[in-house]
Structure 1
Amino acid sequence: MLNNKTQAEYKTRHQKNIEITMRDGTILRHNMTRPDIDGKFPVLLERSPYNKEGGSENGVGSPEFFAARGYVVIIQDVRGRFASDGDFYPFKDDGNGPNKDGYDTVEWLAKQDWSTGKIGTIGGSYSGATQYRNAISNPPNVKAMFVRESSADYSEEWVYRGGAFELGFNLGWAHRVTLSNLNHLVTDEKHEETEKMLIDIENNLDDWHKKTPLFPTQYFNGLSDWYNDWLENPPPSDYWKEFDMSDHFGNIDIPIYHLGGWFDVFLNGTLKFYQGVSKNGKSDKTKQNQRLIVGPWVHGPTNINNRFAGEFDFGPDAALDFNELRLPWFDFWLKGKNNGIDETKKINFFVMGKNEWKQADEWPLKNTTYTKYYFNKKLNGEIKSLYSGTLSDKKEIENSQLSFTNNLNNPVPSLGGNTLSIPNGVFEHSSVDKQCITFSTNPLENELEVTGPVSAEIYVNSDQENADWIVRLCDIDQSGYSRLVCDGIFRSHATSGEIQKIKIDMWATSNMFLKGHRLRISVTSSCFPRFDRALNNGSEKSENNILCGGSNASYITLPIINN
């Protein structure tokens, strides 16, 4: 059912700028595409900040596609964006706070004479966030959701990660959101001047990545003050409590299909939401009717029908028709079609390396052995990195230490990975690996499948108070091509020289390391501009150490699948 092809049943018609009044009197506006005949139809709703005339769902033709198959499709501008009134503050009015814009919209749609009263929701990224936020308010007429690539906790899967600010993504995103919202933010007299300022900044965004301190970012003052609120409140600030939905999974009573990508910036949010509702949903029906699909994709709806992630080709099976994928889900829940989707395996996931789809009913998988691979000082020499050590399932007996210098003015660059606004996905990574301390296995004698959550526990110290620690796993083929699999970051705070044991969440992956390939771990202290840099009272350099072997053995834990 991953790549079915269906035929249109209806001609369609369109209506623009339909108004709905929220509970506080604010008017939101939407466009409607529907079958060109009278009658009642189920409704699909996207609530987006990206303009109801464009945006992600219009970008993949979903209004026309679903309307031609018997749905009314609504694309709404969220509060304070484009044609809708009010003030835009990300995520704030879409959940279970004083304003419940998603809830109010759904209940209005359910009462219209062209509606069957059965509402489904669509969209991804921010319009995935409006779905997840709406889910915790439990509007009674939402019968199903299909959420593409979104977050469960904005402090860990949108704005920060491991305590570091997601600079590359968020500065670019906030800038685009601000530039496209000037009609709401400034007077006509100020519009041209402000627009020119923002375009000049856009043309020099690389320079703005380098500016320190980040807070306050002056050009957002009075325009998008929420961006500086984010910077002023690094986690675990109480500011983020209303934007963390982890405590609300038990309120949710809606079947949800969750879609993620192994290289998506919100991958962990997708997995967390699927697991949370599957375990804690309000009813057994809801727990049993969560579905998950994860492909080798970067962020965005058009990338689901794309075999490439970054520069790497994952083969023809990687590309899926996004609309056809969603249609059976809504046909079952909104139209009552007995198409068997309720009896399918709960999880579809793409195994990179093998480049094939697999299915399961539990995440993490049942047949998983969590195996420690130790960072050993024994020289491997397979790459000319800062130091090329050995990665092994056996740890060295002797304690040892490997040292490197982190230079804030010459940081190790980011190259692809789970990000947005800057290049994402897979690129040949050797140029970056060479700037790191590395640990590699010998060529594998047999295939090794790694599917599930990945983490690293490492012993470290620094001569500075603040330090970032990035651990990256790559798949090295016989030609030496270094393909990123997953990575993670943790920002530590300690007195100079203090040894810390830290745990780095590297999120999750599914990858078959083929016979003859190597596993390579890279360790470094910057990944710029994807993440901001750990500053230390004007100090340009820090001397950082990773400890190996004996009582301070650092390691990565890999979910090995026993096929």
Structure 2
Amino acid sequence: MIINENVYIPMRDTTHLAADIYLPNNNEKFPSILIRSPYGKDREGTLQGASRWVKRGYVVVVQDCRGTGNSEGDYHYYLDDADDGHDSVEWISKTHWSNGKVGIVGTSYSANAGYLLAPTQPNGLTAMICALGTSNNYLDGRWRGGVWHVAHAAHWAQLVEVNTGPKPLPKNSNLSSETIDRIKKITIERARKTVKRMQLGQGNPLATDFLMESYHHSKFDDYWKAQSIDDKYAHTVVPTLHIAGWYDQFQRGNLENYKGMKNNPNAGPQMLIIGPWFHGKIDTPFISQIEEQWLDYWMKDENNSHLLEFPVKIFVVGANPDSSGPQEGIWRFEKEWPLKRTEFKKFYLNEEKSGSVQSLNDGSLKIEIPNSSEKIDVIDYNPVNENLPGNIGFRSLAIGANNPGSNQLDDEVSGQVLTYSTSILEEDLEITGEVLVELYISSTAVDQVWAVNLTNVYPDGTSWLCSDGILKASHNNSHSNPTKLEPNQIHKLEIEIWPMSQVFKKGNRIRIDIMNANFPKTEPCPYPSLNSIYHSKDYPSSIILPVIPANSGGKWFQEDSDEPFKGSLNYL
């Protein structure tokens, strides 16, 4: 393998971005892979990742995003990635070692950078693999439900800031004098900017600017539209393998991108894999084989069309009889997402005691519409309470213990959470798809945060977190033009619970927790208030669950089985 370090690729505004290029050991023309990242092209694991593809006959180009690593310019949080990605793809496609085909491979930020450049349709862009990425960085990342995601934003800024400041000069003596001079200039400019800002009391450039800028854009405006592709699917015409994690903070975005691009008849085939992953490394072996065969199919014309027989592959948590954790289950291959055979079932909030938890109310979930005499459930909310309910780990890059499968019982009995539980299930029940909560509420304040957890309650009382949703009430009708509530008036809210796939076992219960804070994951609403939930015939608060009938379709696949799925795709 040949490695050319710090090759500078020109952008349309004359800025040059640094890339390390990994090539096979011969002079043929090859398909190429572009990976763009703000975390450093020389990050640990890069060499190993590049070698994987070079061995398969690809050139791999790993690039520092604008203003990071050894690249020129200033970093502007996704705002330059569409144009810079476009220019980089076209530059690669015209090099002497390229056969004209360029693919995108990326996880997290690198996936987002790929999604953003795709609608610009650069010449040469042939296929993409985008894992754990977003469709709308406002809703999927910083302001989910109109609520600022404190933990993720702060932690992410720390990850990137180390790569936007002055960096040591490379020790590679094989670099040209021109390249060394360019890197010296970048380092000196960053050092001067840092000194100037510190002298003015403005703090570190990235940690200050990124957090403040994104926080002050609290509405969905042009700032966020530039970082989103969910309004650009009509212009996104590239076959893409979308890889999502049920427990990833960007899960919704990957699924939305699959649906949006799938609905564009000019986009080419799309494929979706949803596994039991958090945000980070995906280490399921057969997924790596699918990735390789996906690119080989589009970039090298290899006959791997069997991949498209079941374009959707989902991990059903709890589908195996002896499952005991949120990452245990069985893969099932499907034809579409969402599943056409879904039967949506509505469960109504009810005042009847479930007898399953000592919460504020211990309410029930029932198929029957409640009667008109139901009482009102109330939360007395105070933002300065030292023990606000919530978590820091779920779908957050920040480290925390409260992840899927973690026990929510402490919050449920804290006196700040309303619970509504089904009766004990008489048979297994699979919930796979998008979940919606309809709440009739009132508040003594002009606004309030409403957070909902969906949990799996075991016979011993353990209340596993499965998925969650959150909404600032003023954003119920619009994230672009939020409207304050009229205090003490009843309002209907629709709260999106992010998609899931889980089998709730016979003997368990389904529960929702409703609270007015999910801290320190998200910013608490500043208004002390009395917040009421109504559940009666006139105000039938409910949760709508996507139920999948047992043995109704799909193809089950167990990784340790003796049966490969099909064709040359050998999973074992």
TM-score grouping bracket, smaller chain normalisation: 0.7 to 0.9
What is the rounded CA distance, in whole Å, between the counterparts of 1:222 and 1:151 in structure 2? Answer: 21
What is the rounded CA distance, in whole Å, between the counterparts of 1:418 and 1:240 in structure 2? Answer: 20
What is the rounded CA distance, in whole Å, between the counterparts of 1:187 and 1:94 in structure 2? Answer: 20
Residues paired across the two proteins, number: 503
Give the deviation of 1:140 after TM superposition. Answer: 2.5
Give the deviation of 1:525 after TM superposition. Answer: 0.4
Q: Name the TM-score, length of structure 1 as normaliser.
A: 0.85
Is residue 110 of structure 1 aligned with residue 70 of structure 2?
Answer: no
One-letter amino acid of the structure 2 residue matched with residue 551 of structure 1 = D
Which of 20, 37, 41 is the equivalent residue of 2:26? 37
1:477 is matched with 458
Identity of matched residues, %: 32
Give the deviation of 1:370 after TM superposition. Answer: 1.0
1:444 is matched with 425
2:270 is matched with 290
2:487 is matched with 496
Give the deviation of 1:226 after TM superposition. Answer: 3.6
Residue 22 to residue 237, structure 1, CA distance change in 2 (3 Å):
closer
Is residue 240 of structure 1 aligned with residue 224 of structure 2?
Answer: yes
2:375 is matched with 400
Give the deviation of 1:471 after TM superposition. Answer: 1.1
Which of 279, 282, 294 is the equivalent residue of 1:299? 279
Q: How does 1:91-106 map to 2 (within 5 A)?
A: 91-95=78-82, 100-106=83-89
1:178 is matched with 161
Which of 336, 354, 369 is the equivalent residue of 1:362? 336
Q: 3-state SS of the aligned residue for 1:466?
A: coil
Q: How does 1:249-398 map to 2 (within 5 A)?
A: 249-281=233-265, 283=266, 286-287=267-268, 289-300=269-280, 302=281, 304-305=282-283, 319-320=284-285, 322-354=287-319, 355-398=329-372
Which of 390, 395, 400 is the equivalent residue of 1:413? 390
What is the rounded CA distance, in whole Å, between the counterparts of 1:460 and 1:218 in structure 2? Answer: 42
CA offsets per residue over residues 239-298 of structure 1, 9 Å max, x none?
Answer: 3232232221011110000000111111111111100011125x1xx34x1000001110
What is the rounded CA distance, in whole Å, between the counterparts of 1:84 and 1:132 in structure 2? Answer: 21
Which of 112, 123, 145 is the equivalent residue of 1:162? 145
Q: 3-state SS of the aligned residue for 1:76?
A: strand
What is the rounded CA distance, in whole Å, between the counterparts of 1:440 and 1:369 in structure 2? Answer: 20
One-letter amino acid of the structure 2 residue matched with residue 16 of structure 1 = E
RMSD (Å), alpha carbons: 2.2
Is residue 523 of structure 1 aligned with residue 510 of structure 2?
Answer: no
What is the rounded CA distance, in whole Å, between the counterparts of 2:355 and 2:97 in structure 1? Answer: 69
Q: Name the TM-score, length of structure 2 as normaliser.
A: 0.84
One-letter amino acid of the structure 1 residue matched with residue 143 of structure 2 = Y
2:410 is matched with 431
What is the rounded CA distance, in whole Å, between the counterparts of 2:365 and 2:392 in structure 1? Answer: 23
Is residue 557 of structure 1 aligned with residue 548 of structure 2?
Answer: no
Residue 187 to residue 388, structure 1, CA distance change in 2 (3 Å):
same
Give the deviation of 1:324 after TM superposition. Answer: 2.9
Kept in 1, the 8 Å contact 2:158–2:207? The answer is no
What is the rounded CA distance, in whole Å, between the counterparts of 1:253 and 1:189 in structure 2? Answer: 43
Kept in 2, the 8 Å contact 1:17–1:31? The answer is yes
Give the deviation of 1:49 after TM superposition. Answer: 0.5
Kept in 2, the 8 Å contact 1:351–1:511? The answer is yes
Give the deviation of 1:87 after TM superposition. Answer: 0.8
What is the rounded CA distance, in whole Å, between the counterparts of 2:2 and 2:205 in structure 1? Answer: 42
Q: How does 1:504-543 map to 2 (within 5 A)?
A: 504-536=495-527, 541-543=528-530
Q: 3-state SS of the aligned residue for 2:426?
A: coil
Runs (4+) off by over 6 Å? 192-195
Give the deviation of 1:325 after TM superposition. Answer: 3.3
CA offsets per residue over residues 61-120 of structure 1, 9 Å max, x none?
Answer: 32011111211111100111111001110111122xxxx111111111111121111111
Judge which range, 509-518 or 33-42, deviates more: 33-42
What is the rounded CA distance, in whole Å, between the counterparts of 1:25 and 1:35 in structure 2? Answer: 29
Judge which range, 182-191 or 362-371, deviates more: 182-191
1:316 is matched with none
Give the deviation of 1:155 after TM superposition. Answer: 1.2
Residue 263 to residue 237, structure 1, CA distance change in 2 (3 Å):
same
Is residue 25 of structure 1 aligned with residue 14 of structure 2?
Answer: yes
One-letter amino acid of the structure 1 residue matched with residue 24 of structure 2 = P
Which of 137, 142, 147 is the equivalent residue of 2:125? 142
Q: 3-state SS of the aligned residue for 2:274?
A: strand
What is the rounded CA distance, in whole Å, between the counterparts of 1:448 and 1:143 in structure 2? Answer: 41
Residue 159 to residue 65, structure 1, CA distance change in 2 (3 Å):
same
What is the rounded CA distance, in whole Å, between the counterparts of 1:220 and 1:545 in structure 2? Answer: 43
Kept in 1, the 8 Å contact 2:197–2:204? The answer is no
Q: 3-state SS of the aligned residue for 1:506?
A: strand
Is residue 63 of structure 1 aligned with residue 53 of structure 2?
Answer: no
Q: 3-state SS of the aligned residue for 1:420?
A: coil
Give the deviation of 1:190 after TM superposition. Answer: 7.9
1:153 is matched with 136
Give the deviation of 1:50 after TM superposition. Answer: 0.7
What is the rounded CA distance, in whole Å, between the counterparts of 1:548 and 1:531 in structure 2? Answer: 27
Q: 3-state SS of the aligned residue for 1:247?
A: coil
CA offsets per residue over residues 520-559 of structure 1, 9 Å max, x none?
Answer: 11000000111111113xxxx3211111122111111100
1:7 is matched with none
